[in-house]
Structure 1
Amino acid sequence: MADPTRVSQYYRKKLEQHELTPEEWSAVRYAVIKHTLIAAATTVTLGTSAFLYARSRSWTRLQSLSFATAGNVVGLSVGGAIAMESGMKTVQERLQGSGSELLYLMDRYSKSTMKERLGAQEGDDLSAYDAAAGEQTLSSPRMIRVQGSEQK
């Protein structure tokens, strides 16, 4: 059986090397724009709130600005985490049903890393799916469509 670490690394490498189709570019661009705005709004909101809170406490301007900077850093990290997670879901939703290879690779990478984090057993289903590196290209949605059209 394949080592779960190797499986997740294999899919990560495949994702890094994948060239996006126009449909995939559209979905990714939409998610980046939408969720960057969410992250920016979270950052501005927490930074401004921290600054106004500090000013209400009659702190000096320097103390207020340092508190606002801390609010911006927290807002950026929280907004970034939320945007990353919801951005990936947005890409998945927009590509659902299209047979996108990106969607397939994202799904396989997600499942393999989850198995890895949960301490996958040697006989788990994920390891059986893609034990060898060559199997992925034969089982991807795009290859299945091509093989199906050749058989007709």
Structure 2
Amino acid sequence: MWNFAVMGLGGIAKRVIEGIVLTPSACLYAVASRDASKAEAIRESSGAKKAYGDYEAMLEDPLVDVVYICTPNYLHHAHIMAALAHHKHVICEKPLVSNEAQLRECFAYAKEQQCFLMEAEKTLFTPLNQKIKEMIEDGVIGKV
């Protein structure tokens, strides 16, 4: 069971939280916002175990395994790097970062920290795309 923390509790976070709660191998362990009262309200409504009004405090929690970043796009790079610095695996809403240099830096740091880093791109996992991937791998539709 992986303990997830959701960082940033704007509009997209609601759907992310619902998905985590429905995933058998995941536990919605914590929610974090710059607004402690908002974090506490979402903790109560979602069943998360902890609420943080400070991102750094959440990242320092040794029970957090994976951080799902739902903060504004311009903060993604800084939040990814902070989570990785605390040896947390990271899934980040799209766009992951603003440019190629930041992308390379984040993935290099994730590798150095031996952490998983992924952009939250759900279309990769839809049944249709999984079938197309399988067909390509099996050579069914020829060379792509």
Larger radius of gyration: 1
Task: Sort the TM-score into its range (normalised by shorter chain).
Answer: under 0.3
Higher relative contact order (CA 8 A, sep 6+): 1
User: Normalising by structure 2, what TM-score?
Assistant: 0.26
Higher strand share: 2
TM-score by length of 1: 0.26
